[in-house]
Structure 1
């Protein structure tokens, strides 16, 4: 009972923190279309892979929540997330630029309603892991409707990216790569790498809004 209360208290703190850090700047998607030149070289190529610090697909950001994209870029800018190329890009952006880019990508998701129920139920092991991590408590119904705008949609995201992100929360940040988030670190450290990979594989298999927004030159 004490462990359950502690978990719920932690999730409540995370939700409150997300609300406090929500971006106040109003984004303009049309303006954002003219500010994504530095994004398309990676995020505009379907299946494009990062090779540092390991090989994995860069995330789909089309259809991602604007609040989360803005929060992530702000974290790269401040160094709360460490990744050399992302920091270099975010550091050049003003608060308005970040809001505009976030608004642009948020409008370019898959069309249609995300099913209320997963396309397939998790097996017993994964169901137990999802319950242990209380993942749905923040990422919402079918992991596609976050309860706070600064939390990401994760249904349908590339599984290898999800695994890499969870590993970065689990491992201590280095000089060049890592993510500082006390809540996600506490959750990720409960699991072995094999368990994190199983979670990522299941969540990535679910239907969701996310997609790559390909540039015409890359199609």
Structure 2
């Protein structure tokens, strides 16, 4: 597995061209399966990035463009890209020890989903590197991702298979999932969209 292979951030930089076109543009949106911002991955944990790419590669996460990219990657490529993006940050603020208090409604939803048990009390310091940081992630992306766990990955072009997240997501209505996503997006976290310098317009 790529998670067990040591990744090289410098090598990952040289392999990230296929990623930059979506994940390196501030505000970039995709239109499949609906319009939403592609996730922030700079500053995300390397084990999680590797796990996500492997899930696209195996079909546990269904998304045509991501699967096509993931299938082209070796385990070393995945490890290198994960190492690169985990360190690809610019003056990232340190997430607070405790997240800001949610509304009573959202607090009840988070408690029902036991979200802190994996993602950490501030949702930016997961208890295990294979779990994602979700504080400050785009709300519309989080909403789409949560709905994908409800759908599952057994059929169709979209959906995600995960033994933990699938039953949790299925407890909630889409309106409730959107409330959770909006709250998580409002938090301070270490995730960023960092444009690659070679694509930036020089300023004098």
Q: If the TM-score is normalised by the length of the shorter chain, which range does it land in?
A: over 0.9
Moved segments of 4+, more than 4 Å: none
- 1:218 Cα deviation from its structure 2 partner: 5.0
Asked if 1:44 corresponds to 2:24, the answer is: yes
Paired residues of 2:2 and 2:79 also in contact (CA < 8 A):
no
Equivalents in 2 of 1:42, 1:111: separation in Å? 20
Q: 2:71 aligns with which of 91, 110, 115?
A: 91
- 1:207 Cα deviation from its structure 2 partner: 0.3
Runs (5+) with no aligned partner, structure 2: none
Q: Paired residue for 2:97? A: 116
What is the DSSP-based 3-state SS (H/G/I as helix, E as strand, rest coil) of the residue aligned with 1:182? coil
What is the DSSP-based 3-state SS (H/G/I as helix, E as strand, rest coil) of the residue aligned with 2:122? helix
Equivalents in 2 of 1:52, 1:82: separation in Å? 11
Q: Paired residue for 1:69? A: 49
- 1:22 Cα deviation from its structure 2 partner: 7.8
Give the alignment's Cα RMSD to 1 decimal. Answer: 1.4
* Count of residue correspondences: 198
Question: TM-score with structure 1 length normalisation?
Answer: 0.87
Runs (5+) with no aligned partner, structure 1: 1-20
Q: 1:183 aligns with which of 164, 171, 177?
A: 164
